[in-house]
Amino acid sequence: MKRLLLPVALLLAACNHQGGSSASDYIVDLDRTQICWGSGECLNLELIIPSFNEIRIEEAYGLPTTNADWDVEDLASLLISPPNNLYQSEQIAPNRYQVPYNEATYAVWRYLRQEQRELYDSNDRGNSNWPGNSNIQ
């Protein structure tokens, strides 16, 4: 039994270290303009364009609220370079950044997911199984 546990433990450690992210982190992929959660679910950053949730995201990041319409570059910049050192992003590959799961990044995820559901998944509105839907740090 001990012989089996060591290889399994090493394999799990290698998988967890691969890419440098944990299941509770988000990955921002600038080439694909996506934010992905550890489970592999991804949302397009372009969903910010039809959104009216910029104010809610500004509030989550502690920014003064404006009525500005954001584009993908604005949102990506906020995610990878948050104001006031709210958190540290880490470049894990060319044009790919790991950002931690916290109240601010979860707000981005939540409102992009809301846009996704309202625009494309109208038959799935009642499901609340969003990544990290509880235990916000």
* Domains of the chain by residue range: 23-122
Euclidean distance between CA atoms 34 and 96, whole angstroms: 10
Q: For residue 120, which phi and psi values (nearest 5 degrees)?
A: -125, -25
Judged against a pLDDT cut of 50, whether residue 122 lies above it is answered with yes
Specify the amino acid at residue 72.
Answer: V
Decide if 96 contacts 29 (C-beta within 8 A).
Answer: yes
Residue 12, pLDDT > 50, answer no
Give the pTM: 0.73
Q: What band does 69 get if pLDDT is binned at 50, 70 and 90?
A: confident
Query: pLDDT for 36-55, tens place per residue?
Result: 997 789 999 999 998 889 99
Residue 86 has pLDDT above 50, yes or no: yes
Strand partners, 99: 26
- Name the band, by pLDDT with cuts 50, 70 and 90, for residue 67: confident
Contact, 87 vs 28, CB < 8 A?
no
Per the prediction, the chain carries an average pLDDT of: 80
What the block records as the tokens of 71 is: 């584009």
State the pLDDT at residue 22: 60
CA dist list (Å): 19 to 16, 22, 37, 89, 136: 8, 9, 13, 14, 23
* Beta sheet of 34-37, edge-to-edge order: 42-44, 34-37, 25-29, 96-100, 90-93
> CA 65 from chain center: how many Å?
21
Percent of the chain with pLDDT over 70: 72
- Residue 25 DSSP SS3: strand
